Amino acid sequence: MLSTGNATFVDETETYWHVEFRSNVFRFVDDVEFLFDREKKLIHVRSASRVGYSDLGVNRKRVEKIRSLFQ
């Protein structure tokens, strides 16, 4: 997770992670949350920018990269 960028774990339990990612230039914060459902063998993901209307696809690219790491 930490290899995907400027990541800081805010909350980390056995079934939930909240990670903040900061952009390199303007230091904008994106919140990414993971909910691990072991029974269904699923990982639910929520990714959102705190400010602005568009991040030019940065959140989606990050989540896709993280998805590949879990596979």
Instruction: Name residues whose C-beta falls within 8 Å of residue 44's C-beta, 6 or more positions apart in sequence.
Output: 34, 35, 37
Q: Which pTM does this prediction carry?
A: 0.82
Q: For residues 20 and 25, which has the higher predicted lDDT (pLDDT)? A: 20
> What span, in angstroms and rounded, lies between the C-alpha atoms of 37 and 55?
28
Tens-place pLDDT, residues 31-67: 999 999 999 999 999 998 888 777 788 888 888 988 8
Q: Predicted confidence band at 69 (pLDDT cuts at 50, 70, 90)?
A: confident
As a residue count, the chain comes to: 71
Q: What is the pLDDT of residues 9-19, one digit of tens each?
A: 999 999 999 99
